[in-house]
Chain A
Amino acid sequence: MEGFNYRPGYCDERIGMIKTENITKHFNKGRPDEVTAVKDVSIVIKKGDFAVLKGPSGSGKTSLLSLIGCMSRPSSGRVIVENRDVSRLPERFMTAVRRNTFGFIFQQFHLIKGLTVSDNVMLPLYPTDITPSELRKRAEEILNTLGMAGRKKFHVQKLSGGEQQRTAIARALINNPAVILADEPTAHLDTHLSEEFLSIMRNLQQEGKTIVIATHDPLVYEKEYVNLSIEMRDGIVRDAVRKS
């Protein structure tokens, strides 16, 4: 593994898929319970990377993932996606970037109860011009790929943990995103299901997608195909190691 030393403010001058420049994120700014979740972080994630944000609970991984994925705005600094500063974009454009670039897999899966697997998978594309029949076709294709075709009409609350996660993966893939962001995806899975999840992510990476996973699970960050490992603690990047 060829590493490099992380320096605050460091930016890879090569054009990256995602770049953060000295981003800081405060919560409850100016109040007694103010928290600085991310402090002065600058990282570069290139197209096709299998990146891991690792660190203990409360280290700022999820906040950084949220900033990268345009789910929140930095208090200061810039987030650059595909050479475009998205941190000050109006909400509407930020949403468009989020929808067209990222697929999210959440720790709690965040599937919508009461809806079928198929309906959950189609959710990201409902507010688009795609016809209902095309939507269903896309959902079925992805569910087939993930071995979930037989469960498409099941309500999500009746699925096992692994099936719920595959549904969440299918939902993240329906808009054919360039980047998959996953927050503690193996936290609620046993070893077998965790391996299965990682295998799916590995396949997606090999298809050309960028994978960014926030985790404190060694099973994830010790995988040999993880080529960018960013270690966080107390909101700052302690170390960033990129394999060649």
Chain B
Amino acid sequence: MSINKHRNILDYTLQSLLRRKFKNTGIILVFTFVIFIVSSIILLSYSLKKEAGLMLKYSPEIIVQRMLAGRHELVSTWIMTTILEIPGVSKVEPRYWGYYYDSGIKANYTIIGIGDSGIENNRLIKGRMPSAREKNVAAIGKGIADARIDIGDSLNLQNSEGKWMGFKIVGIFESDSEILTADLIVISEGDFKMLVKMPEDTATDLAVYVANETEIPTVARKIKERFPDSRPILRDEIIRTYDAVFGWRSGLILTLFAGALAAFIILAWDKATGLSAEEKQEIGILKAIGWETSDILEMKFWEGLVISLTSFMCGVILAYLHIFLLGASLFAPALKGWSVIYPDFKLVPLIDFYQIAILIAITVLPYIASTIIPSWKASITDPDTVMRG
């Protein structure tokens, strides 16, 4: 079959689209908006999951917390020796960390006290990290630095007794994931204990490293057996939790934009349930003057493809810019979480074939189908009936 026929039909399709330019522009705008919302949610939740993956790349295989009356309590460091004796455990380290609310900027910092082993997964941009026994110095994440302070400045934090402690900023760092460093302050282990008044021989939790991945559940079970008030958390469990959290938040956003989605569904339904009298008559005319059903379906296919692909491209490009250049400004507060410390939260651009396939499956394909089906119904009847009707 010659290419000319398809070229002619495509030519007519474009004329047809231009003929109804106001209607089609309206459809494209609505459809673009809907695809923009859906794409933004998908891109953002995928990117956040990716961030979570980066964040957990250096995390220990097991974190051991102590539970008291169902709540997280400080853990005694003396149990480290017993845990280290469990076969398969290669290293056990105490972790010192907590949150600090800064009423000045109404945001939470995450504060980490580092010991001799230092802190992994961070790259210094400027300066240095505090050493384990150094006093009144701090390194800060890039997010805080961008927001307010720089090297050489002083950061004042109020301890649990209400007294102010001053910390000189000696370093600024970043990591693969900005989630990790955006609100992070690193001080020495000693300063941390003073700041929160943490008793000696206790830690926030313990990091347990297991060399062989298949032994992780067994090690976790043995820790639980030896210390019934402990809660060993596996890295895989954390990943699943992140997935669930971001999935839930995606659902929340989808609910917020349910109105836009409903508008699209109504639009699609309107297209799917029938053609206007003018469109039916046009199909009748085309059939009467010698167009085959397949020619009409081809025309309608091109029509649906042009509209839905234009909307798709516009929607996805806008969503990409929104998420990765503008920091998902429209709905980042709901999806990114609990803090307002992320002034320049930039996600790692991530878009793959799977996401594109999902978006096409839920937007382009239904639209094309809703365009073709009523046209097919109109074009299989005798043109005489269509023209009279």
Number of B residues, CB within 8 Å of A: 31
* Interface residue B163 (Cβ < 8 Å from any Cβ of A): no
A-B contact count (CB 8 A): 90
- Residues 280-296 of chain B: 1 if any A CB is under 8 Å from the residue's CB, otherwise 0? 01100111111111110
* Interface residue A119 (Cβ < 8 Å from any Cβ of B): yes
Contacts of A63 in B (CB 8 A): 384
Give Cα A29–Cα B5 distance, bound, in whole angstroms. 38
Give Cα A113–Cα B278 distance, bound, in whole angstroms. 10
Q: Are A123 and B293 in contact (CB under 8 A)?
A: no
Q: Are B293 and A112 in contact (CB under 8 A)?
A: no
Q: Are B19 and A114 in contact (CB under 8 A)?
A: yes
Q: Are A72 and B385 in contact (CB under 8 A)?
A: yes
Q: Are A129 and B4 in contact (CB under 8 A)?
A: yes
Contacts of B387 in A (CB 8 A): 71, 106, 110
Give Cα A115–Cα B286 distance, bound, in whole angstroms. 13
Q: Are A112 and B285 in contact (CB under 8 A)?
A: yes
Contacts of B4 in A (CB 8 A): 128-132
Q: Are A91 and B9 in contact (CB under 8 A)?
A: no
Q: Are A72 and B382 in contact (CB under 8 A)?
A: yes
* Interface residue A99 (Cβ < 8 Å from any Cβ of B): yes
Q: Are A128 and B289 in contact (CB under 8 A)?
A: no
Contacts of A50 in B (CB 8 A): none
Q: Are B8 and A73 in contact (CB under 8 A)?
A: no
Report B5 CB to chain A, min CB distance, Å: 5
Q: Are B8 and A126 in contact (CB under 8 A)?
A: yes
* Interface residue A127 (Cβ < 8 Å from any Cβ of B): yes
* Interface residue A124 (Cβ < 8 Å from any Cβ of B): yes
Contacts of B380 in A (CB 8 A): 91
Contacts of B20 in A (CB 8 A): 114
Report B59 CB to chain A, min CB distance, Å: 63
Residues of chain A in range 93-138 having any CB-CB distance to chain B below 8 Å: 95-96, 98-100, 104, 106, 110, 112-115, 119, 123-132, 135
Give Cα A125–Cα B287 distance, bound, in whole angstroms. 12
Contacts of B227 in A (CB 8 A): none
**Could you pull out 17 A-B pairs where Cβ atoms are within 8 angstroms?**
A71-B383, A72-B385, A91-B293, A92-B292, A95-B290, A96-B290, A96-B292, A98-B290, A99-B290, A104-B289, A110-B281, A115-B19, A123-B285, A124-B289, A124-B291, A127-B8, A128-B8
